[in-house]
């Protein structure tokens, strides 16, 4: 997963902070990947690889800037407008989240906590006004991905995605429904490789001075699926 920084010199700034935090950093030269400038790369304790970059060429269908229409190419299929976030599974999610907070200036917007043990079961982090840009979910094995999420414009589009899923017999996980955490409107499905994907709409706007939202483990069902108020085993155990 990659995050864009404001300018190339920020890469040196964040590389120094990552190294100070004890995180190994690799430098990827400009042009090693087509259209991408210099990058730095690091791994988290949960076994996930992240890149930071400052420069990337726009595609031919990138955002228009002169008298721009709403879209360049007519939206097709589920009408996804952009990548939104991903949720990653691993053991020491607190250590991974700590890197993003202390070295990269992310904020923890929400978390799911077992108050009896103090264990953090889910940590949701933002570097923007979104409810989350990445989430870490506790799991007994590192290096796993729970889901990849794509943004839709409206709850109506989530319903349209459900129509597409049914029309083409795509493997449905759950939804349409809504999250308590992030408040996003959602539907989950599996691609032919077995990866879980999400189309996501809404969610609250986050500001850095907002208080952190906390959900208790006994309310995990409502936190994850606000309408159903219950978790299914597949959602908790299946990842890739």
* Residue 72: predicted pLDDT: 86
Cα–Cα dist 44/100, whole Å: 9
Asked if residue 106 lies in contact with residue 100, where contact means CB atoms within 8 angstroms, the answer is yes
pLDDT mean over 78-89: 96
Selected catalytic residue, list 111, 139, 160, 198: 198
Q: Which residues, in sequence order, are CB contacts of 152 under 8 Å at separation 6+?
A: 78, 79, 80, 81, 158, 161, 199, 200, 201
* Residue 104: predicted pLDDT: 98
CATH class of 2-53: alpha beta
Selected catalytic residue, list 48, 110, 111, 132: 132
- Which CATH number is 82-237 given? 3.10.180.10
Q: Which residues, in sequence order, are CB contacts of 106 under 8 Å at separation 6+?
A: 97, 100, 125, 126, 127, 133, 134
Selected catalytic residue, list 111, 139, 179, 206: 179
pLDDT digits (tens, 9 = 90+) for 162-207: 999 999 999 999 999 999 999 999 999 999 999 999 999 999 999 9
**Bridge partner list, 197:** 148, 189
pLDDT mean over 206-216: 96
Selected catalytic residue, list 111, 160, 188, 206: 188
* 188 a catalytic residue: yes
Statement: residue 60 has pLDDT above 90: no
Delimiting residues of CATH 3.10.180.10 domain(s) in the chain = 2-53, 82-237
| Prediction pTM value | 0.96
Selected catalytic residue, list 85, 110, 111, 139: 85
Selected catalytic residue, list 139, 147, 160, 206: 147
* 146 a catalytic residue: no
* Residue 146: predicted pLDDT: 98
Split at pLDDT 50, 70, 90, the class of 57 is very high
């Amino acid at each position: 997963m990659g995050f864009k920084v404001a300018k190339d010199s920020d890469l040196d700034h964040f590389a120094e902070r990552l190294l100070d935090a004890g995180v190994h950093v690799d430098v990827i030269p400009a042009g090693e990947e087509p259209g991408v400038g210099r990058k730095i790369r690091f791994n988290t304790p949960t076994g996930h690889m992240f890149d930071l970059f400052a420069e990337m060429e726009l595609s031919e269908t990138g955002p228009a800037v002169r008298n721009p229409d709403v879209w360049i190419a007519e939206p097709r299929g589920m009408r996804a407008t952009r990548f939104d976030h991903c949720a990653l599974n691993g053991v020491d999610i607190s250590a991974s989240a700590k890197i993003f907070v202390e070295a990269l200036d992310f904020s923890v917007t929400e978390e799911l906590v077992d108050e009896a043990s103090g264990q953090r079961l889910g940590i949701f982090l933002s570097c923007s006004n979104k409810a989350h840009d990445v989430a870490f979910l506790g799991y007994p094995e590192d290096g796993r991905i729970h889901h990849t999420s794509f943004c839709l414009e409206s709850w109506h589009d989530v319903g349209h995605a459900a129509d597409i899923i049914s029309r083409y017999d795509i493997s449905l996980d759950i939804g349409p429904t809504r999250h308590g955490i992030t408040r996003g409107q959602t539907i989950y499905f599996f691609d032919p490789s077995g990866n879980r994907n999400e189309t996501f709409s809404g969610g609250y706007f986050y500001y850095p001075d907002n208080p952190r939202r906390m959900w208790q483990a006994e309310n995990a069902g409502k936190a994850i699926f606000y309408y159903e108020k219950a978790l299914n085993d597949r959602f908790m155990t299946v990842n890739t």
